[in-house]
Chain A
């Protein structure tokens, strides 16, 4: 069946099987390799994408379900200043070790930072940790991820928003 959706800002139309998950369509048909295959049961979060701006797992989502929707991966955020600032903090805080969970971790934390900024409110370490509960990192970088997020939030909030 034919499915059309917005991928990283551009409409794509792709022929898929009805029972095909978005993870497979992205990796195998559209060449989006930042979206990682992990548990395929919705537990690890490595396959996270932003669906209409919200983080979801792409392993428990049929491509057919996202027809007409907006799908974003890290490839689509390259020129986004807020995303750039977040990546910079991930690097500065050594929040990446092996890197397998990183694209997904960046998408979840990017969505979280945007949510906090849109709500014009303060975040807490507990709340940041809660936001990434669906992203497993077997290197154990969690405290460093939390630090990077806290750091980007304090910097962005102190300066004019990008």
Chain B
């Protein structure tokens, strides 16, 4: 053939156990979920793999379930399924909103939520909402299953807390009542683009005071992050514009962006201030 196929072996395990077994035994094997990041990386040579283990059709890894006090999202649930899910719209609107603007329809029909997390791009768009919701990640591997809070999942630039042979199985979010939420993604254009800065906020207000605040950002550090100092500043404060502005200033100091093709570090820092402020205002219903 004129066009060269990727030189990899391909495995399609019929169970999660078999997938873990192949991953453990075959050197240089990688998990293939939707493939929309991995195949690009393999084609460009940024990532290499001897073998691909396709977990995309394993039933136990699919689907969105409302479990009463929490919501379970299978790791290979397609992004478009999240956009179209009634459970998502009702229970996790912040996540749904972020996913709606990821990739294109064609990409969202292939790409998976677990793939977006495990690929661990600093610009991963599912990360800020899940960091804000403090989702728990169920990971299975040769030694059994364990739960890792998403706040401990991203361990460094494009690195995650997955050991050899381990697979992200599902994402679990405990239901909680929030007074407001907001997601703002700044890209170079409005659709089908990578994030320059994205911010997700969740707020809980009681008697005019911030009871709880979550602020999560992407593309402004080696991993997606929470702005813990800004959150801490607001907790217990009376709701006021000056408090929001101070929190946004603190967030600006918490980030460590770099210059890249999409924007300069300076610009990103300024946008962290602006978008955090806008997102907090929007969470409060201030336009």
The digit string for A1-40, where 1 denotes a CB below 8 A from any CB of B, is 1000000000000001111110010001100000000001
**Contact with B3, one of A18, A24, A42, A67 (Cβ below 8 angstroms):** A24
The answer to whether B30 has its CB under 8 Å from any CB of chain A is no
Give the residue name and chain of the A residue nearest to B8 (CB): A19
Which 10 A-B pairs rank lowest in CB-CB distance, beginning with the nearest? Answer: A134-B104, A19-B6, A18-B10, A20-B5, A17-B5, A134-B106, A19-B8, A133-B191, A19-B5, A54-B109
Chain A hits for B56, CB < 8 A: 65
Interface-lining segment among B16-24, B35-43, B154-162: B35-43
A81 → chain B, closest Cβ, in Å? 23
**Contact with B106, one of A16, A17, A48, A64 (Cβ below 8 angstroms):** A48
Chain B hits for A41, CB < 8 A: 40, 43
Chain A hits for B10, CB < 8 A: 1, 18-19, 62, 64
Chain B hits for A112, CB < 8 A: 105
Chain A hits for B54, CB < 8 A: 62, 64-65
Interface residues of B in 158-200 (CB under 8 A from A): 191-192
Chain A hits for B32, CB < 8 A: 62, 65
Chain B hits for A20, CB < 8 A: 1, 5-6
Chain A hits for B40, CB < 8 A: 41-42, 60
Chain B hits for A21, CB < 8 A: 5-6, 39
The answer to whether B2 has its CB under 8 Å from any CB of chain A is yes
The digit string for B27-54, where 1 denotes a CB below 8 A from any CB of A, is 0000010011001101100000000101
The answer to whether A145 has its CB under 8 Å from any CB of chain B is no
**Contact with A24, one of B5, B36, B39, B192 (Cβ below 8 angstroms):** B5
Give the residue name and chain of the B residue nearest to A48 (CB): B106
**Given A64-B54, A67-B12, does the pair A19, B7 have CB atoms closer than 8 Å?**
yes
Do residues B8 and A134 form an inter-chain contact, with CB atoms below 8 A?
A: no
The digit string for A100-121, where 1 denotes a CB below 8 A from any CB of B, is 0000000010001000000000
7 additional A-B pairs beyond A19-B42, A42-B106, A54-B80, beta carbons within 8 Å, are: A19-B8, A19-B52, A60-B36, A65-B32, A112-B105, A130-B105, A134-B106
The answer to whether B107 has its CB under 8 Å from any CB of chain A is yes
* Chain B interface bracket (under 10, 10 to 19, 20 to 34, 35 or more): 20 to 34
Residues of A bordering B, CB below 8 Å: 1, 16-21, 24, 28-29, 40-43, 45, 48, 51, 54-57, 59-62, 64-65, 67, 108, 112, 130-131, 133-135
Do residues B110 and A57 form an inter-chain contact, with CB atoms below 8 A?
A: yes
The answer to whether B9 has its CB under 8 Å from any CB of chain A is yes
The answer to whether B63 has its CB under 8 Å from any CB of chain A is no
The answer to whether B149 has its CB under 8 Å from any CB of chain A is no
The answer to whether B13 has its CB under 8 Å from any CB of chain A is no
Give the residue name and chain of the A residue nearest to B43 (CB): A40
Residues of B bordering A, CB below 8 Å: 1-3, 5-10, 12, 32, 35-36, 39-40, 42-43, 52, 54, 56, 80, 103-107, 109-110, 191-192
A110 → chain B, closest Cβ, in Å? 12
B223 → chain A, closest Cβ, in Å? 24
Chain A hits for B110, CB < 8 A: 56-57, 60-61
Do residues B106 and A56 form an inter-chain contact, with CB atoms below 8 A?
A: yes
Chain B hits for A19, CB < 8 A: 5-8, 10, 42, 52
B47 → chain A, closest Cβ, in Å? 13
**Given A18-B9, A65-B54, A134-B104, does the pair A60, B192 have CB atoms closer than 8 Å?**
no
Chain A hits for B109, CB < 8 A: 51, 54-56
**Given A41-B40, A62-B39, does the pair A28, B2 have CB atoms closer than 8 Å?**
yes
Do residues B105 and A42 form an inter-chain contact, with CB atoms below 8 A?
A: no
Complex: A48 Cα to B7 Cα, angstroms: 23
Q: What are some 9 contacts across the A-B interface (CB < 8 A)?
A: A17-B5, A18-B8, A28-B3, A43-B192, A60-B40, A62-B10, A112-B105, A130-B191, A134-B192
Do residues A65 and B191 form an inter-chain contact, with CB atoms below 8 A?
A: no
Give the residue name and chain of the A residue nearest to B190 (CB): A133
B224 → chain A, closest Cβ, in Å? 22
Complex: A146 Cα to B269 Cα, angstroms: 38
Complex: A10 Cα to B219 Cα, angstroms: 45
